A and B are shown apart, each in its own frame.
Chain A
C-alpha cells in the first residue's frame, strides 16, 4: 500500500500496537528546557526511575534567561530557581546541557538543527509546541506535555494514536519582499487555527522545495498555529548539505548509512492524503495579523475587518473581542497603524537568514523616534555569526538594541515584555491576548516587515524598501 512520509516514519518507530490502534513509538531525540521539565524530573525521582537514554536527550535553558548582560546571573528569583533546577536535574540524570553561559546556548528549536541533533526520519519531541520546527528536516517532530516528557525520559517511548494525513502544496515562486513567514501566515489564514487539528501536515510543491533550510523551519514552526502538532517536508540535498559536518551529525561510515536512508524518505507518488490544500506563490503577499489569533491575518494592503459582515455568531463575537483588545477600528488600513515596539527573534524567525533579511532593510536608516526596537538572536552561534558579518553594527547604528539569545519577548517570561496597550510588530508566532505582556498588542510579521515597521514607526510594506 502507498504511504505518506508520515506513515513511513510512524511505521518505522512502532514498538508495540494495541488492538485499538494505541501505539508505543520509539523516540530518537528528546529536547528538554527549563519550563516544562522540572515536574517530570521530580516524577522520576519520586518513583525511583532513571533516564533510559541520556545520550538521546539534550537540554538547554531558553525561556527564562535574561537577554541583557548575563555576567550577574538571573535577578528574578523564580526564573533563577527554574534554570538552576534544570542544571541540577541534568547533572543528576546525566543529560548534556548547554548552560546559560555556553556559546551554544539558545532557543531549543534553533540549537537542535544547529548542532545536527535534529535528523531526517527521526521522531523528535520536546515539551514545547514549536517542536514542529524540526519537521523541516523530514522528521516527525511534535510538542508534548510534561507528563509525556516524564514518560519519554523514563521509557524513551511515547503512547500515541495516529493522526490523519494533510498535504499543503505551494507551487510557484515567492514575489519580492515575500518570505516563508508570509507563506505560513497565509496558510493559517486559509485553514484556520484549528484547520490542522488531528492531522500531520506535509508541505510540498515547487515553492516549498525552492526554500532554504531555515525558511522551511519557519513554515514548520508555525504548523501548531494551524492546529496540527507536526508539519514536515521531504528532506533533500539542501538538508543533507546543511547537516554535513555539524557537531552531532553522523560521522564517517555512519554518515553514508544515514544518507542512504535519508535519501529514501518521501511520500509515495500515489499516497493518499485525507485533506489537501493548494496555494500559488503569486497570490502570497507580505502578511500581518490584526487580531488575537494567528488566523486573523491580512495582506499589508488590507483593512481591519468588520465584525458586522460576519454571518457566524461565534466568529462575529470573536472579531469584536479581538478588535477591542487590539484597540483597532473596522475599516482602518493596516498600514496606518502606529507601533511602539519591534521584536525580531524567536524560534520562528531568530536565525541568521532572518537577521540578514532585517539588516538589509534597516541599513543606513534610523528606527523611528517613538519606537523601541530589539533584536534577539536565536542562539549564541547565530549571534556570533551575525557579529562576524557586522549585522550587529548595522542594527545598533540604526537604533536597535542588540541582545543575548533566548525566547525573550516571544512569550515574555523574562524581563522583555510589552506594557498594557503597547503595540508591537513581532517576528514571533503568537498574537494571543497577553502573550507578550498583559494588555500588549502583537502584530505578527516577517523579519523584513518588522524592520520596515521599525523605520516607518507604523506597520508598513517591506516592498517599499526593496531595491
Chain B
C-alpha cells in the first residue's frame, strides 16, 4: 500500500447525503477481476448520460475538479454494498481523502486498506470547507498533524491512532497479523478441544 502523504488540492464538493456504493461504482463494473482501471467509471450514472457521454455539469467532469484529490460529501457516505470497488474507483480517479460528517462502517474500513483517508468533521465545518471548493482554492490535509489547513484557518480532526500509523507507513495488514501466527495456532488448538464441531473433528 502507498504511504499516505500530505495532500494539497482543490476539493470537489458533492452536496448529497447517503451516497451509496452503488452510486460510487455501479454493478456493471464489478465484473472485473482487477483492482485498477475503475476511475473512469467512478460515479458513472451521475457522470455520463445513457450514451456514455460525460455530463458537463457534473463536478468531477469539470476542471479543476477532474484533478481533485479530496472529495467533500454529505453524511452517511459509502452506505450499502460492501464492494471495495468503491474505494478502488476513488483511488484510481486520484481521490485519496474523503471528508464527510459520517460514513458507513464497511466503506470506512475499506478506505484504510487502500491508502484513502476518510476524515470526519461536524456539519458546520463541512459547509465551511465546501466554500473552498466553490472558490476553487486549495486546502491542505496533513495526517501526521491531523490538521486541515484552508486559507488562514486550521481544523483538527480525530483519527484512530493505529489506523493513522498504518496509513502513514503504508503497512500491510496481513503481514502484521501473520506475526501473531503463534497466537492464532494456540487459539485454534483450544478451539478444537472446546468446540470440536467448528472443525468438524
Tell me if A18 and B45 are in contact (CB < 8 A): no
Most A-side CB within 10 Å, residue of B74, B173, B199:
B173
Query: Within residues 347 to 367 of chain A, which ones have a CB less than 8 A from any CB in chain B?
Result: none
B70 to chain A, nearest CB (A): 21
Question: What is the size, in residues, of chain B's interface with A at 8 Å between Cβ atoms?
Answer: 58
A252 to chain B, nearest CB (A): 10
Cβ-neighbour of A146 out of B16, B50, B84 (below 8 A): B84
CA distance A122 to B22 in the complex (A): 30
Does chain A have a CB within 8 A of B177? Answer: yes
Cβ-neighbour of A26 out of B32, B110, B191 (below 8 A): B191
B94 to chain A, nearest CB (A): 20
CA distance A397 to B45 in the complex (A): 38
Does chain A have a CB within 8 A of B155? Answer: no
- A143-B82, A146-B84, A227-B104 known; A154 vs B33 contact (CB < 8 Å): no
Interface residues on chain A, size class: 35 or more
Does chain A have a CB within 8 A of B57? Answer: no
Tell me if A129 and B106 are in contact (CB < 8 A): yes
Does chain B have a CB within 8 A of A16? Answer: yes
**Chain A residues within an 8 Å CB radius of B102:** 194, 197
Query: Within residues 163 to 201 of chain B, which ones have a CB less than 8 A from any CB in chain A?
Result: 173-174, 176-178, 180, 183-184, 187-188, 191, 195-201
The digit string for B78-103, where 1 denotes a CB below 8 A from any CB of A, is 01111110010000000000000011
- A314-B74, A318-B18, A430-B80 known; A254 vs B27 contact (CB < 8 Å): no
Does chain B have a CB within 8 A of A36? Answer: yes
Most A-side CB within 10 Å, residue of B22, B75, B103, B114:
B22
Partner-contacting stretch, out of A1-9, A75-83, A104-112, A458-466: A75-83
Query: Within residues 147 to 192 of chain A, which ones have a CB less than 8 A from any CB in chain B?
Result: 147-148, 150-151, 154-157, 159, 161, 163
- The number of A-B residue pairs with CB atoms under 8 Å apart is 190
Does chain B have a CB within 8 A of A328? Answer: no
Tell me if A24 and B177 are in contact (CB < 8 A): yes
**Chain B residues within an 8 Å CB radius of A248:** 200
Cβ-neighbour of A413 out of B30, B176, B177, B195 (below 8 A): B30
Query: Within residues 40 to 78 of chain B, which ones have a CB less than 8 A from any CB in chain A?
Result: 45, 50, 74-76
**Chain B residues within an 8 Å CB radius of A81:** 31, 33
**Chain A residues within an 8 Å CB radius of B114:** 147
Partner-contacting stretch, out of A232-240, A381-389, A431-439: A431-439
Does chain B have a CB within 8 A of A411? Answer: yes
Tell me if B82 and A145 are in contact (CB < 8 A): yes
**Chain A residues within an 8 Å CB radius of B28:** 413
**Chain A residues within an 8 Å CB radius of B50:** 420, 438-439
The digit string for A76-105, where 1 denotes a CB below 8 A from any CB of B, is 101101100100000000000000000000
CA distance A188 to B57 in the complex (A): 33
Tell me if B27 and A36 are in contact (CB < 8 A): no
Does chain B have a CB within 8 A of A289? Answer: no
Query: Within residues 304 to 327 of chain A, which ones have a CB less than 8 A from any CB in chain B?
Result: 314-315, 317-318, 321
Query: Within residues 389 to 421 of chain A, which ones have a CB less than 8 A from any CB in chain B?
Result: 411-413, 420
**Chain A residues within an 8 Å CB radius of B76:** 193-194, 197, 227
Tell me if A432 and B23 are in contact (CB < 8 A): yes
Tell me if A197 and B105 are in contact (CB < 8 A): yes
Does chain A have a CB within 8 A of B161? Answer: yes
The digit string for B3-45, where 1 denotes a CB below 8 A from any CB of A, is 0000000000001111010110011101111110000000001
Tell me if B184 and A145 are in contact (CB < 8 A): no
Tell me if B191 and A16 are in contact (CB < 8 A): no
Tell me if B26 and A434 are in contact (CB < 8 A): yes
B34 to chain A, nearest CB (A): 7
Does chain B have a CB within 8 A of A281? Answer: no
CA distance A16 to B182 in the complex (A): 11
Known: A145-B106, A412-B27, A430-B81. 20 other contacts (CB 8 A): A15-B184, A16-B180, A22-B160, A79-B31, A119-B198, A128-B81, A128-B82, A147-B113, A157-B180, A163-B105, A194-B75, A197-B102, A228-B105, A229-B105, A254-B197, A293-B18, A318-B16, A318-B17, A420-B50, A430-B22
B contact residues vs A (CB 8 Å cutoff): 15-18, 20, 22-23, 26-28, 30-35, 45, 50, 74-76, 79-84, 87, 102-106, 109-110, 113-114, 160-162, 173-174, 176-178, 180, 183-184, 187-188, 191, 195-201
Q: 8 shortest A-B CB distances, which residue pairs?
A: A250-B197, A147-B113, A38-B33, A145-B110, A78-B31, A145-B84, A143-B82, A146-B84
Can you list 6 A-B pairs with a CB-CB distance of less than 8 A?
A20-B162, A24-B184, A145-B82, A194-B18, A257-B196, A317-B17
A contact residues vs B (CB 8 Å cutoff): 15-16, 18, 20, 22, 24, 26, 28, 35-36, 38-39, 42-43, 47, 49, 52, 55-56, 63-64, 76, 78-79, 81-82, 85, 119, 122, 127-129, 143-148, 150-151, 154-157, 159, 161, 163, 193-194, 197-198, 224, 227-229, 248, 250-251, 254-255, 257-258, 261, 293, 314-315, 317-318, 321, 411-413, 420, 430, 432-435, 438-439
